[in-house]
Amino acid sequence: MTDLTSLTLAEARKGLAAKTFTSLELTDAHLNAIEAARVLNAFVMETPDQARAMAREADVKIGKGDAGPLAGIPLGIKDLFATKGVRTTACSKILGNFVPTYESTVTSQLWRDGAVMLGKLNNDEFAMGSSNETSCFGPVANPWRRDGSNTTLVPGGSSGGSASAVAALLCMGATATDTGGSIRQPAAFTATVGIKPTYGRCSRWGVVAFASSLDQAGPIARSVRDSAMLLRSMAGHDPKDTTSVDIPVPDYEAAIGKSVKGMKIGIPKEYRLDGMPAEIEKLWSEGAAWLKAAGAELVEVSLPHTKYALPAYYIVAPAEASSNLARYDGVRYGLREQGKNVIELYENTRAEGFGAEVRRRVMIGTYVLSAGYYDAYYLRAQKVRTLIKKDFEDCFAKGVSAILTPATPSAAFGVGEKGGADPVEMYLNDIFTVTVNMAGLPGIAVPAGKDAQGLPLGLQLIGRPFDEETLFSLGEVIEQAAGRFTPARWW
Amino acid sequence: MSVDATTVRRIAHLARIAVSEDEVPHLQGELNAMLAFVEQLSEVNVEGVEPMTSVTPMQMKKRQDLVNDGEIADDIVANAPATEGHFFLVPKVVE
């Protein structure tokens, strides 16, 4: 039998249906792979007993012929999703040994459809980071290395554990979340596919909140088709999240292989940055050529407020974070550090429980919302956000179906290489992805090539609200042209 | 705009995060780096622009006014660091 971990989700589904192998065999193969890859630090909690129990249950259902669309498929879950009875920490010390008594809506839908949980995946603390280095469980290693080098590279972040685990064949797919690029940037760094759906497409209920007006859940997977299959199960209306949208979830997989002939694809001139590496520029032109060869029409478009998206984000996101994270007070759950009165208890708990990046963002958020500064910072940033969204609306109003951009300004970098002296250096990683969150749009990152050092690079497609299907159709064209990429195993 | 050491201490207190004296200069530098970065927003003309309140054009949904959850006090206190019965314990607040 071929190594079961090297199958795509779509291939595994076929094998399970044909009874070529069982879910228990498939699950065990992945549990073994996880055990052998602990050096990557992708999983912060392994749940082998639960995985095997879920796999056995899936095998019974497959046997009876009433299997769900993801029956028996082993997945990893980002530690930001509350999982009933299984420790959920957001990779922060402040949540300590928090064990939810409830299940997030997104994961409950995956289990409803028969998926198997292998364990919880590492991420940046409260999803604040672009390298997975802020996790209280330590950094995650990217399974990719530069040609001829054994330097450990970051997998990107915040969904670094999800991306690393999917790329290293430790799980067939993973849940992730994206507030400023946290699905798409790690996907690009690891040659995996990641889609952030339209704001409101997936329920945020039971997902640890970072910046509520920007946060969206989505999958990271090994192919465009796999990501479509996962999103179909993750998406859908949830009365428990008032921002979740009550419109039907399409069969995303049906969009794979659909013709893109005649589609207008926008190439935004503002994304052509000064000093952009030539290989990113080349990748971008190649992507455009592939779409053109498939019958799409390329048009130059302008998104004039692009450069203001990242600074506006670094007001809006910390402001929302500072209020969301007010709940970690050492009283209702998680860590408690004593103090001689209740204020000191709060202050000591939060100083001890939050890492440096989270403290910094909570403080900047507190500042921009404080009396006398609200109008100058927060209100202005929300107005700029309106302008960013309008840029996209104007572009789509001219008949543009989707926008093609690079996913990241560079390939993966080394652990400890960025952001040490100036936090802004790290933030610049999200320059191409953050606009999409500010405008609430869907965006997909698809592997498209490698740089001169053999590291993967990705392209991003940005779509109209709730038109994820077009992104899957176009993403498939890029995947067919570029091929798929798997790292050489060194662990 | 930039922040001085006194403002850093004030923000830390508002954010309920204990900050030791030797952390202040470092934090001040980082916060000022972020503020310098966002300063470029002041060049955008936002005259007459509505601030964003909802990124998706949808009506705020309203829930039915009925009880559909509750009686889960055990669950609510299950993760608390200090409890007595169904109460959270904190240091004395009122003398």
Q: Which of B15, B53, B55 sits opposite A440 (nearest CB)?
A: B55
Nearest to A74 by CA among A100, A47, A101: A47
Residue A421 pLDDT > 80:
no
Report pTM: 0.97
Q: Which of A333, A350, A362 sits opposite B79 (nearest CB)?
A: A333
Could you identify the residue written with the tokens 């890029």? A478
Point out the residues of A that are catalytic: 158, 182
| pLDDT tens per residue, range A346-382 | 999 999 999 999 999 999 999 999 999 999 999 999 9
Asked whether the beta carbons of residue A379 and residue B51 sit closer than 8 angstroms, the reply is yes
CA atoms of A208 and A459, how far apart (whole Å): 28
B35-88 tens-digit pLDDT: 999 999 999 999 999 999 999 877 878 888 999 889 999 999 999 999 999 999
Report the amino acid identity of residue A19.
K
Average pLDDT, chain A: 97
Q: Is residue A375 less than 8 Å (CB to CB) from chain B? A: no
Asked if A422's CB is within 8 angstroms of B14's CB, the reply is: no
Min Cα–Cα distance to chain B from A388, Å: 10
pLDDT at A183: 98
Q: Is A204 on the interface with B (CB under 8 A)?
A: no
Using an 8 Å CB-CB cutoff, list chain B residues near A348.
Answer: 18
What token pair was written down for B27? 């934090």
For tokens 């993973």, name the residue. Answer: A174
Confidence tier at B95 by pLDDT (50, 70, 90): confident
The 3 state secondary structure assigned to A211-226 is: CCCCCEEEEEECCHHH
Residues in B touching A82 (Cβ below 8 Å) = none
- Cβ B51–A383 below 8 Å, yes or no? yes
For residue range A154-174, list pLDDT tens digits in order: 999 999 999 999 999 999 999
Residue A1 has pLDDT above 50, yes or no: no
C-alpha to C-alpha distance for A425 and B70, rounded to whole angstroms: 47
Position A2 confidence tier, pLDDT thresholds 50, 70, 90: low
Q: How far is A364 from chain B (nearest CA, A)?
A: 7
Query: Which of B79, B83, B89, B94 is most worth mutating to test chain A (most A CB atoms within 10 A of its CB)?
Result: B79
Give mean pLDDT, residues A465-482: 98
Could you identify the residue written with the tokens 């998104």? A303
- pLDDT tens for residues A422-449? 888 889 889 999 999 999 999 999 999 9
Separation CA A470–CA A89 (nearest Å)? 35
Question: Residue A275: pLDDT above 90?
Answer: no
Q: What are phi and psi of A245, to 5 degrees?
A: -95, 135
Beta-strand runs (E) in A139-241: 173-178, 193-196, 216-221
**Helix ranges (DSSP H) in A39-177:** 48-64, 105-112, 160-167
Give all strands of the β-sheet with A402-406 in edge-to-edge order: A43-46, A116-121, A74-78, A173-178, A216-221, A193-196, A443-450, A456-463, A402-406, A264-268, A297-301
Mark yes or no for CB contact B17/A439 under 8 Å.
no
Report the C-alpha gap between A77 and A216 in whole angstroms: 15
Calculate ∠ Cα A391-A215-B51, nearest 5°: 45
- Which A-chain residues 146-165 have CB contacts (< 8 A) with chain B? none
Choose, out of B90, B92, B94, B95, the residue to mutate when testing the contact with A (most A CBs < 10 Å): B90
- B69 close to A (CB below 8 A): no
ipTM: 0.96
φ and ψ of A153, to 5 deg: -105, 155
Biggest CA-to-CA distance, chain B: 57
pLDDT at B64: 86
Q: Does B66 touch chain A (CB under 8 A)?
A: no
**With an 8 Å Cβ cutoff, is B24 touching chain A?**
no
Question: What pLDDT does residue A329 have?
Answer: 96
Q: Distance, in angstroms, between A350 CA and closest chain B CA?
A: 5
pLDDT for the residue A157: 95
**What phi and psi, each to the nearest 5 degrees, are found at residue A249?**
-90, 120
Span A470-480, average pLDDT: 98
Taking the C-alpha atoms of residue A58 and residue B49, their distance in angstroms, rounded to an integer, is 53
Using a CB-CB distance cutoff of 8 angstroms, which residues of chain B are in contact with residue A314? 34, 37-38
A351 touching B (Cβ < 8 Å): yes
Which tens digits make up the pLDDT trace of B1-44? Answer: 789 999 999 999 999 999 999 999 999 999 999 999 999 999 99
| Other beta carbons less than 10 A from residue A410's beta carbon | 18
B78 touches chain A (CB under 8 A): yes
